Structure formats: C-alpha cells, structure tokens
Amino acid sequence: MGTDHERGIPGPGPVVSLDGVTISRGGRTLIRDLDLQIHPGEFVAVLGPNGAGKSTLLKVLLGELAPDAGQVVVDGRAPGDRDTHLGYVPQQRAFDPGITLRGRDLVSLGIDGTRWGPGWPGRRGEKKRIVEDSLARLEAGKLADKPLGRMSGGEQQRVRVAQAIACDPCVMLCDEPLLSLDLTGQRTVASVLDHRRRDDDTAIVFVTHEINPVLPMVDRVLYIVDGRHRIGTPDEVFTSEVMSDLYSSPVEVLRVRGQIVVVGDTQHLVAEPWSTGHHHHDDDHGHGAH
C-alpha cells in the first residue's frame, strides 16, 4: 500500500468520501445518511451546536470510531491506514506544565510517523529543515526550543498546527483550531491553512463554532443539528429558511458588516446555535450531549 501516489500528492478523485454514513453515540443518532465527497484543495467547515457530532465525525475519519452504516474513504484508503497522508489538529487540551518536550520535538512527531503521518526515511538535515519551515509558517520559530509545558495555550496551538502540516498532508482535520488564539494568531493559522490548500491542494476539514474568521476561505459548509444536516456554500446554508428547518424552530440569519450572525429563541432549540463572539467546546468527548 502507499504506492498509488506520492507522499503528499492527492490521488485521483475525492480525498474524503462518505457514502450513506450514519453515526450514533450513546443510543443517539448524531449524523444520518451523510453523503459527502471532499476534493483536493477544498475547504469544508463543519458546524453545529454542542454535542451535534462534529468531533465524532473527525474520529470516524481518523479511524478511531466505525460508523454504524455507510462507507468512509480517506486519501483512497480506509480510515486509520498508516499510509494515509493526514494532518490532524486535535481539540485543544493543555499540556502538563511539567512536560519537557520542546516545540521542535512535537513537530518532528508529525514527520516521524505517529499514527497520523507516514514514516520518515531518516534524512536528518531534510527533517530539520521541514521542522523549522513548519514552525516559521506559523510564526513560531522562537518556540522551537521552548518546553511545551511552559507555552501559553495559543503558543501550544501554533505548534500543534505546525506539527499537522509537517507531514505534507493531502487532508487536514482541524478540531476547533482557533481556540486560545488571539486575533493575530487566528489570522496566522487561517492564512497557513488557506495557503496549504491553494499551494498544495490539501483538503481542509475545519470543525468550528465560529465561521466568521474563516468565512472568506470556506467553499462548503456541513451543518449538523440533532441528526439532520445540510451541505452547501455558506450562502446556501446560512439562510433563515434553512437554519429554521435544521433547528425545527424559528431562526433568523443576519449579515452584519460581512459577518454572519445566527439568532434564535434558544430556549426552544434542541441545542444552542453558535453565535458571534462565543466559543463553546463540543461535548462529543464525554461531557454529555444535549
């Protein structure tokens, strides 16, 4: 395996394909009959309320969870295949303050062949160049020798993104990658991802509660609510009619100075829609779905 296309070069056709996929957790259907093909260079934002299944969907693409029904293919392979050219930015968890692993060490893991990236043939000089280049792209060169445990949350997040791009991925799965970053950091990360998909044809699957920081980059939106979903461009999905249908409750979509704001009577919603300026953690990680 791994001989059908070169490292980091997308093969023919979609790089992510989900056909008739249904995903359940704890007896609750999170996603039902999802058909989605993501092509090289495409930027797809995955949105929805807390507990909707956004992070769970990424776990299926990573091969950590099997869907209840349907077929999933990532980079021409089964999810979790070690030859998959995949970069992953997990939902943020602070590193232990006592950890001595440095920034460059974490980025190196993206090259060496953790389960998220292919192995490295051992060219030390080339590896060092890739690590330094990945950190530089995130404007994080000064973090190369800083222990992870002494970094701020925003610094840790920059290094995580540098690690994800170091393996030259065909697909990047990003779970709330802008959390803990100030506005400058958000713009840096968003710019790196945008260049990655434009220059290298990397597909971006971007889980977020807040679409506005990346709105100009988004090709399509997958919006998930209570087992239902809609797929389309931001203009197609973010309408009062579509959002009211998804939430089974009156929802108004406003556009204010180029920003999208979703307003609804949240007391009557199954789960709250995201709104501008508020960050929520997806509770797919065991905090109990609404």
One DSSP character per residue, 244-275 reads HHHHTS-EEEEEETTEEEEEE-GGGSSSPPP-
Quote the pLDDT of residue 258.
87
Residues 6+ apart with CB under 8 A from 70: 18, 19, 20, 21, 22, 33, 34
User: pLDDT tier at 23 (50, 70, 90 boundaries)?
Assistant: very high
Going from N- to C-terminal start, the domains of the chain cover: 1-85+169-290, 93-167
Q: How many whole angstroms separate alpha carbon 70 and alpha carbon 190?
A: 32
pLDDT tens readout for residues 86-118: 999 998 887 888 888 999 999 998 886 544 444
Q: Is 224 helix (H, G, I), strand (E, B) or coil?
A: strand
Distances (CA, A) of 24 to 27, 79, 116, 160, 269: 6, 17, 24, 29, 20
User: pLDDT tier at 1 (50, 70, 90 boundaries)?
Assistant: very low
Domain spanning 1-85+169-290, CATH class: alpha beta
